[in-house]
Amino acid sequence: MKWLGRLAVLPLGILLLGACTGNQPEQPRRPNILLILADDLGNNDLASWGDGSAPTPTLDELSQQSVRFRSHYTDSTCSVSRAALLSARHPVEIGFEPDGIGLSHDLQTLPRTLKGLGYRTVHVGKWHVGEMHEYPGVWPLQQGFDEWFGAFNHFVLSGPDERGLLVRKRPAVVNPWLQLNNEPLRQYPGYLDDLLTDYAVKQIEQSADGGAPWFINLWYLSPHTPHQPSEAFARQFSDDPAGRYLAVLAQLDHNVRRVLQKLEESGQADDTIVVFASDNGSPTPARNYPFTGIKTSYREGGVRSPLIIHWPGRLERRDVEGVTHITDLYPTLVGLAGGDVPPDLSGRDLSAELTANRPLPKVEALHWAADSALGQFYGVHFPGRGLFASDLQAPLALEAGMGPVHLAERTPAPDLSRERTQEILRDWERQVRPVSLKWQVLSNSSGSLSGRDYQRIPAIGGYALGLALGASAPEAGEQTLFHQQGVWSLHLQADGHLRLRYGDVQVLSEQPVQLGRACNSVITSLFMAPVRTFPFPSSGSTQLWLYVNGEQVGMSEQVMFPPEQEAALRNPTFIGVGSDGSAPYSGTVRKPILISKHIVASQPGYGLADFTADLCAP
């Protein structure tokens, strides 16, 4: 670990001397970036961050020589955190709450941005950025990576069944099934994280010639279940669940050491930014000490975990007490690499504060939300002032929190009324829920929506499309309200009924509707759990509600099936006219509003009355 002991800030005189030599200094080579993401690693899984019980000498030394972010937040589960990291956008903005199809093609991702700066981009390990593995566009090579080696999700690791089909089985970390780029899935002998480390080490070796800078996105499965350490580590600990868990941590620590040593041996350590983080907290309460709560919850144990950034000679070792979020990683790394950060990200570029050793900008509140068939779940943290959560445990829980973890200071629970918490949720959702779509006006009575292909149709989770329509002419016959070829449509029939079609399913409104106002709101809202055989077998479920001017006019629980072919998702969504120009609407249309939430009559946060009012607002 020689390189970890060499960290020092360059003396000012040396920097000034370098600045004065030559009239046209060469542009410095951009730094390499090694982003190591552990899976389900809690605060107590690093000895120097928790109670000292974790066998993590490498990570502890790395932490001691690095910038340590003591108030770092993630999301509460795997897929949603990974999507937030790669996109630097709040998950509900991009269709992950917590599950989603994948990252839409028009989203600028971290690897895409780094490729634009001349980086070679490599993903190694678990992916799990989306659920629709049958859609080619959600895989790493379509998200900005030049190459990848790993598994689409951890359930793939056990391989196909005797029919050659992927079915849900316990993930295999011994002799796992993995994939290299577009090659078929095949079984590799060895331990999963050892194999991933072998591949990362090989990539570092091959980059020692000083060519293009590289970005290696190394996403381990450890310490996620199953806890099956190799014999070399298992024999160092007791043969029980606690001992096997510690052995998994020791093996993770050893693999991180192997990667760092290869950086040193290849002469690339000084030119490489190393990030170590976790996707969320641990599912085991004790592993999140001193936080309360676990993975899947919006308590601190679910959404707070260690973050370490190391860059020799550029970033001074220190504790950062200011709040950071997993969405800050993308813009900050691009900033440290000297690139231009895309302007529309939720995450913040903190590179200037880090390089100048300045405090981070203050964060007043952090928000989380999940949409489920059982309703809405929320969490809001006020750093230094406690938190509130709304979930299956309690409709509203006001709780104390913690400040920077190394100070171990408890903060009081916030003093908030139920009405005030609803205002906070409603204001936040009004800001982040609308999906950014391209609107093309075709005429006063028609237009088209495009972009965000994985969010523009209902497929997984909550969805609501709102139309603002001028008065229709009753004698106009059948009229199109919206139509996306190959996916779905909504028509106003000549008899006044609304008719929705999604694939082979057809739903009629319960009675004829009147669109006689100057502005009529028409909302189509769904929650969909598609039929799946992998990784979570499900017979599927759909909840559909149709609203006109704030009143429910139809509902259905017929199961709907997303398109089998991804290409249909790219078709524009026509408003006020069919995709072939047929059955035009007789009144005017405004730009629709699409939100990633299932709207029902009574619910927390942004609701039916808010949506109806926003659609017809002046």
What percent of the chain has a predicted confidence (pLDDT) above 90? 85
CATH number at residue 510: 2.60.120.200
Q: Are 304 and 450 part of one and the same domain?
A: no
Last residue of a domain, one of 361, 396, 412: 361
Token reading at 226: 């199953």
Based on the domain organization, do 407 and 474 belong to the same domain? no
Let me know if residue 165 belongs to a domain.
no
Distances (CA, A) of 147 to 9, 116, 129, 141, 214: 34, 16, 16, 6, 12
> Is the full-model pTM beyond 0.75?
yes
Among the listed residues 369, 327, 376, the one whose alpha carbon sits nearest the alpha carbon of residue 73: 327
Give the rounded percent of residues in the chain with a pLDDT score beyond 70.
95
Strands 120-126 and 214-219: parallel
- What pLDDT sits at residue 170? 83
Are 355 and 384 members of one domain? no
| pLDDT interval class at 163 (50, 70, 90) | confident
Whole-number pLDDT of residue 27: 63
* 3-state helix vs strand vs coil in the chain, percent to 5: 25, 25, 50
Residue 385 domain boundaries: 367-432
Q: In terms of domains, do 319 and 423 share one? A: no
The pLDDT score that the predictor gives to residue 105 is: 95
Which carries the bigger pLDDT value, residue 381 or residue 14? 381
Mean per-residue pLDDT, 392-417: 89
Structural domain count of the chain: 3
Residue 533 has pLDDT above 80, yes or no: no
Mean pLDDT of 19-45: 80
Position 329 pLDDT exceeds 80:
yes
- What pLDDT, in 10s, does the model give residues 465-480? 999 999 999 889 999 9
Region 265-283 average pLDDT: 97
Residue 372: is its pLDDT beyond 90? no
For residue 604, being part of any structural domain is answered with yes
pLDDT digits 0-9 by tens, 557-601: 999 999 999 999 999 999 999 999 999 999 999 999 999 999 988
Q: Average pLDDT, whole number, for the chain?
A: 93
Cα separation, 55 vs 52, whole angstroms: 8
Same domain, 338 and 372: no
Q: In terms of domains, do 447 and 491 share one?
A: yes
Residues 6 or more apart whose CB falls under 8 angstroms from that of 343 comprise: none
CA distance 283 to 45: 12
User: Which CATH number do you get for residue 347?
Assistant: 3.40.720.10
User: What average pLDDT score do residues 303-329 get?
Assistant: 97
